[in-house]
């Protein structure tokens, strides 16, 4: 019985293919690198750690997606600062200025240029602790974390 199970497992492994371990190793250093090359003080934040901060009033989540995407669903209480133009104004910066931590995110589970650009601009504006949510909104939803839909109540 044990032998049949082992042979069946090996056959399934062959059919599915062997993972590219070397490729995974080559990608690992990039995932540890700062998300904003020009701003090494901006760091990644993992989904579980960010979820643990969602109730903290000193932490602000900022959605870099379009207004339509934000209204369809976002981290509960998040601000919306769309990165469609690649720039932010003083009003957007002033909304997060008193936050101890600012967490930016967007709509891709991989490397999201919008959330990284927003994080870099906020750090450049002098915010002391800006982070980029690894996995973005897709990761948030996959983890079953709370989200809400509707317009932003206090957005620039």
Task: Give the Cα separation of 152 and 42 in Å (integer).
Answer: 25
Residue by residue, pLDDT tens for the chain (156 residues) are 333 333 333 333 333 333 332 332 333 334 567 777 777 889 999 999 999 999 999 999 999 999 999 999 999 999 999 998 888 989 999 999 999 999 999 988 667 889 999 999 999 999 999 999 999 999 999 999 999 999 988 887
Please compute Rg for the chain using Cα positions.
19
* Whole-prediction pTM: 0.76
pLDDT tens-place string over residues 75-114: 999 999 999 888 898 999 999 999 999 999 998 866 788 9
């Amino acid at each position: 019985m044990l032998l049949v199970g082992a042979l069946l497992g090996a056959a399934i492994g062959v059919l599915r293919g062997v993972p590219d371990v070397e490729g995974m190793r080559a990608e690992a250093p990039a995932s540890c690198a700062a998300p904003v090359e020009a701003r090494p003080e901006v760091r990644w934040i993992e989904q579980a750690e960010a979820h643990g901060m969602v109730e903290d009033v000193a932490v602000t989540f900022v959605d870099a997606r379009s207004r339509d995407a934000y209204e369809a669903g976002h981290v509960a209480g998040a601000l919306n600062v769309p990165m469609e133009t690649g720039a932010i104004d003083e009003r957007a910066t002033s909304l997060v200025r008193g936050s101890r931590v600012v967490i930016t995110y967007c709509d891709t589970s991989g490397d999201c240029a919008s959330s990284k650009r927003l994080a870099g601009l906020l750090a450049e504006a002098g915010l002391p602790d800006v982070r980029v949510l690894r996995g973005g909104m897709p990761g948030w939803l996959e983890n079953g974390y709370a989200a809400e839909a509707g317009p932003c109540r206090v957005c620039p």
